[in-house]
């Protein structure tokens, strides 16, 4: 009640100024909230973090982060440095691929680790994934393989129900086979939902059935009326 008492005691002009300032603060907070959630490579540390999992979107459980941390740390042996980054929202004008390229440049220029970077990226807002790698890894992991793995192997679990851990595991498994000298297994077969048979007619079938009924009725009426007229007048 103290706030309302002070507002009531204000003169019209100070009251208007107070309300204008309050409105501006509220609008500013609303407008700045989405921007605060957006992230760019410069928002991450200058050097590679100790953890191989940067769960900025906070979509992984503690058990999943520990599992993925162990797998990423062992991935590729000493040939590369694999990292996973989850994002809530990309900064304006950035694509997931551009974000990865800029982050590789940022973390490679720090000079603290010489192993070439391999980034598994997940955009939780748009359910997209991408894999970006240092150019020195092209012979081990061709760009076509990375693109296919990001757009299909990892993307399918995301579209089927926000399965962030599964998307990461599937991407790691596919690339591990290639790194170990095996043949690329390719993307998984995407489940296609089929419609179960039903006795309920569709709208098109109903409209077609009604049209057929009216045609039959008109033909019958058009035949009976002339015949009845001829029979009456011929007597």
Q: Determine the pLDDT at residue 109.
A: 80
Please tell me the predicted confidence (pLDDT) of residue 3.
52
Q: What is the pLDDT of residue 206?
A: 52
Domains of the chain: 39-179 (3.10.310.50)
Predicted pLDDT at 6: 54
DSSP 72-113: HHHTTTTS-EEEEEEESEEPTT--HHHHHHHHHHHHHTT-S-
Integer angstrom CA distances of residue 155 from 105, 170, 175: 25, 10, 15
Per-residue pLDDT of the chain (235 residues; tens, 9 = 90+): 555 455 455 555 554 554 445 444 444 443 443 444 678 888 998 899 999 999 999 999 999 999 999 999 999 888 999 999 999 989 888 899 999 999 999 998 865 567 899 999 999 999 999 999 999 999 999 999 999 999 999 999 999 888 999 999 999 999 999 999 999 999 887 655 555 555 565 555 555 556 667 777 777 767 777 776 766 666 6
* d(C-alpha 166, C-alpha 123), whole Å: 15
Q: Report the C-alpha gap between 199 and 217 in whole angstroms.
A: 25
Q: What is the dihedral of CA 85, 88, 94, 95, to 10 degrees?
A: 60
Helix H or strand E segment including 153: none
Decide: pTM greater than 0.75: no
Whole-angstrom distance, CA of residue 165 vs CA of residue 157: 9
Res 8: pLDDT = 52
pLDDT one-digit tens code per residue, 107-136: 988 655 678 999 999 999 999 999 999 999
- Alpha-helical (H) ranges within the chain are 2-9, 12-37, 62-74, 96-108, 143-148, 155-159, 164-179, 203-234
């Amino acid at each position: 009640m103290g706030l309302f008492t002070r507002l009531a005691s204000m003169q019209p002009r100070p009251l208007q100024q107070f309300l204008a300032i309050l409105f501006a603060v509220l609008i500013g907070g609303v407008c700045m909230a989405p921007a605060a959630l957006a992230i760019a490579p410069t928002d991450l540390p200058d050097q590679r973090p100790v953890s191989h999992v940067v769960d900025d979107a906070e979509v992984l459980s503690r058990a999943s982060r520990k599992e993925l941390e162990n797998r990423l740390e062992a991935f590729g042996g000493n040939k590369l440095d694999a990292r996973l980054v989850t994002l809530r929202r990309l900064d304006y004008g950035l694509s997931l691929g551009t974000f990865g390229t800029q982050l590789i440049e940022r973390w490679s220029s720090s000079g603290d680790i010489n192993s070439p970077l391999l980034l598994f990226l997940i955009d939780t807002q748009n359910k997209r994934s991408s894999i970006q790698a240092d150019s020195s890894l092209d012979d081990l992991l061709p760009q076509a393989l990375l693109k296919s793995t990001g757009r299909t192997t990892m993307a399918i679990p995301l579209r089927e129900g926000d399965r962030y851990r599964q998307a990461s595991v599937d991407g790691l498994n596919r690339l591990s086979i290639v790194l170990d000298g095996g043949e690329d297994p390719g993307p998984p077969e995407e489940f296609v939902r089929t419609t179960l048979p039903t006795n309920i007619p569709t709208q098109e079938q109903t409209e077609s059935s009604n049209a057929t009924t009216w045609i039959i009725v008109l033909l019958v009426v058009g035949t009976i009326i002339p015949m009845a007229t001829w029979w009456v007048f011929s007597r």
